Amino acid sequence: MYAVIFVVGVWFLPSTIFGLLFMVGLTILIVLFQYGISPLLIGWLYRIDWIPYEQFVRQFPHLAESLEKVVAYNRIKMPRLGIIHDLNPNAFTYGWTKNSARVVLTDGILKYLNKKEQNAVFSHELGHVVHSDFILMTVVFAIPLLLLSVARWAYYASFFSRGSSRDDEGALLGIALIAIAVLSYLSYYISYLISLIISRIREYYADEHSAEVLEDPNALATGLVKIAYGLLVDGNIEERKKSRVLALRGLGIFDHRAAKGLGIISVGQTGVLSMEAIQKAAAWDLYNPWARYYQVFSTHPLPAKRIMRLNMLCEIYGIKPEIDFSDAKRLKEEQAGKSLWDEFLWDVFIKALPTLVFIALLGLTIVWIFDLVFDAFNVAFLAPVYANMWLVWAIGFYIIGIMTIIKTGYMYKGGFEDKTVLDLVTNVKVSPIRTIPAFLEGKIVGRGIPGYYFSEDMYFQDNTGLMYVDYRFGIGIADLIFALRTVNKLIGQRVRIKGWYRRGPSPYIQVNTIWSESGTRHKNYAKSFRYFWTVLAFILGIGCLYFYFMG
């Protein structure tokens, strides 16, 4: 609807101030509409069990104590409280204002975190409420959208202005509109990145609120270790050596896209806490270049960064930090050497291979067109190339097809071996491109997005921990059918998963095949679908050869 109205507005109000005002007004209306309807949509799309306040107090008195403290101090209305019955540990809050907030926890939070950590996560969410982040972030993210609307209006209006006027004034107006479009696109991109920075800052503020309510930053820090890296630890470091590990997974306290697979690390069969395992898991956040890349485009800081900031707050409260990353660099170097930049650059090169060949072909063609029309270049050694452009494109398409095969083989390696979650999550060198082919055996315990009807992804648990299972095929209707027909049937079943372990930035396994204890087999053809582009490139190459020989 927005796109249709946008096109109509540009068509009937081209290159006029009224057209610009129309586009800006439309964008503001869309933002307000989304702001108004989003809490309703969440209520419809998620299976949330709303709990009356009196019942909440009886069931969770430790949480009610912090809730009453925050509500009384900030003079806000009591939030509506809900539970999602899913073992994916998650927590989130939403609403229109601080006086109409909803705070939701999952069964996973209540089962796997101790009471103090539950309180810390709960207080973090209350921090978003008292800071009015619903309104603030709506405004912050509306600004890039407004700039994008201005850019689109100026771009399309420039065509109408040049086509509707025959004099120099119309041409100048078209150039001016193009300049406005370019500047607006640049401003949009910069403002979008700034809005993500603001979002990450708001998360830090919510962390500080949690520390303030409990007067102990360690509670959230150890909770984040459980959520992000999977260790269930209680009490001080010495007492935690006696703790056993349970499977955990990532909160809505994180960005859903960035936190798609916050993995779980076990302390091993002895039940002895391994700070080394924690630091190996955190080393990816701290030292892998891919982590820096994903941080830039994430609404949430990386878990290790948040824990380090919470450790700094410990000094204010006169408390010793419980999570120590001082040895993470050494552990990373033992596994991956001094730097991971060589692996990162190679991953980027492999990922971009087919695109680089296509860009080279496109650039060569543009040079040829300019030379043909304007005689702008006179490069003798390119003359045979220009005389056989159809042949060049045919060869280029075949190279693209071959490069796609190489890229697919690199991203979807063979040689699958039995692994545990612990084995995978402690690997620092893994990336979204550089994978580990693995078999995992365990149990499906929940949906990837807890309570969400249309989540095709799942949570998997073995005896060392729990990991996000990415079943997304990439075709909407196929994902929807799997989400509605199959996911609920798999939850609670023991399974064997064949897939590729990735991290981007969080750990997850991309499914090739799932075998369930009920005897069903579920195949994912995401890898096979990638060869479609190879076939398409070869077909286009054949077409180019046809025109070459016919010419």
Please state, in angstroms and rounded to a whole number, the distance separating the CA atoms of residues 283 and 251.
20
Annotated catalytic residue 456: no
Q: Given its phi and psi angles, is residue 512 left (phi above 0), alpha (psi -120 to 50 degrees) or beta?
A: alpha
CA torsion, points 478, 483, 489, 492, in degrees to nearest 10?
130
CATH class entry, domain 341-427+430-551 = mainly beta
pLDDT at site 103: 95
pLDDT at site 1: 53
Q: Looking up tokens 């459980």, which residue turns up?
A: 226
Please state, in angstroms and rounded to a whole number, the distance separating the CA atoms of residues 309 and 185.
34
List helix spans (H) across 388-440. 389-411, 421-425
Q: Looking up tokens 């919470």, which residue turns up?
A: 310
Nearest to 502 by CA among 428, 418, 434: 434
Strands 494-503, 436-447: pairing is: antiparallel
Determine the average pLDDT of the residues in 76-99: 92
Whether the full predicted model's pTM is greater than 0.85, yes or no, is: no
Determine the average pLDDT of the residues in 204-209: 96
> Comparing 8 with 78, which gets the higher pLDDT?
78
- The mean pLDDT of the chain is 83
Determine the average pLDDT of the residues in 40-49: 91
Choice among 117, 125, 203, 456 that is catalytic: 125
- Per-residue pLDDT of 496-523, as tens digits, reads 999 999 998 788 999 999 999 999 999 9
pLDDT bracket for residue 161 (50, 70, 90): low
Delimiting residues of CATH 2.40.50.140 domain(s) in the chain: 341-427+430-551
pLDDT at site 70: 94
- Per-residue pLDDT of 382-420, as tens digits, reads 566 666 788 888 999 999 999 999 999 999 999 999 998
Instruction: Please name the amino acid found at residue 157.
Output: A
pLDDT at site 2: 54
Q: Looking up tokens 């729990």, which residue turns up?
A: 466
